[in-house]
Structure 1
């Protein structure tokens, strides 16, 4: 069993200290094989905010991490920095590679930098990025869970969120589906959900899912949804004739217990057959 912890939109600079402590406790209890930070790591891309984010990642110990930038990780008010060295502080904290990858026998995770300094907050995926990711996906093994990480979403559940959709998503989703992708992880809109992309995009013959995370640590929550993270469990052997089995669990921070608690679980069907998902509400 492989376990992936998805953390998004931490917005260091607006983080809530009790939630940070609770998330570190959850990570310690789960012992994930990988922690993914899917963008907007900081609030305003400042050195001290990235230093706080780096300290948080260091507190995870030896757990591998994969970090992609979000639009908030590019300077907004410092126009010179935004145009000339937009990722300097991010790279100082997390290394030069803005599109990191992680691979194990059961897991292939590919980061995509969808931010653009010339855009305010919108994201974009280029044809070059689409092809690069597709080539890695096509080389994956049959047992691996194949995951792509963007910041902006490729699909939304509400009309008001359509303005936040990733530019270039149509060609990316189509191409990555043909290459064998299973999940596309995202953040940006602080709204957690799981969507079947094979029902959202016409012509997809492969089951592929959008897995969106809420804001993990910031007080900038959305509506009635508190701080939230996703826990993804993948069994490469499965329990049904050797089929791969994947679940996505949503864990929300509880003000009462001051801990993250599982509130929903999605059992996902993978592969090329007809779509199927079972949702279980916790409690």
Structure 2
């Protein structure tokens, strides 16, 4: 990807050689720093598009370096990708919470490294133009990428997802509130990601009255949500229900939960479990039990 400048901050000369070769062959311009102090000086002088930052360095470590980078608002559009030999979840989360855009664990695969760099730079490019984006289609701009762009650019905004009866409130790049139908918080976000479809609109620099709660790191929230959503999608795939639309077959006295979602029928399995009250995994169990007792059936195509 020609035109991008990448700064490598690492105390290991061998890593500089390997990374430099990979990146130059991929078309990037590369500059090098052997410690945190030198890296910060070079960052201010050259304004790179992305920093590859080693976590474990003598003197100023990677966490201290990124703290200084993110303290300067002028650096908000400079992406940071952590490189670490420590495959420990809490350290990865710490780096992401301090403002890293992604991380990769040593030893890394060349293709994975370049894919992560390309993805981070695409998100950064999108965030730079986000002010002009007032509406769009989730098929073109995924919900995860949209939220990461908002975090990267420290936006205050309300994202409306009309087709899903949802909204997400963000203040200075952090999650303040989320609602999907009658659900709030993580339960709402899980349902949004499972349903992810339709159009979005963004209203910048306004927070609806009455919104309370402590801001949360979008990166940490997305990591937790994505794991849960992936597991639920795997369960649905294993059930083999696909996108078939279901209807209630007969009396549901044994399953009163189904009466609450009768009005949305016919609907897909995913639409039903996200509309039902309570925990989604429990909703899946109830639907499977109802199907076994022939309380649900597949809609016949006319």
Q: TM-score range by the shorter chain?
A: 0.3 to 0.5
Give the greater-gyration-radius structure (CA). Answer: 2
Q: Which structure has greater helix proportion?
A: 2
More relative contact order, 1 or 2 (CA 8 Å, 6+ apart): 1
Structure 2 length-normalised TM: 0.32
Structure 1 length-normalised TM: 0.33
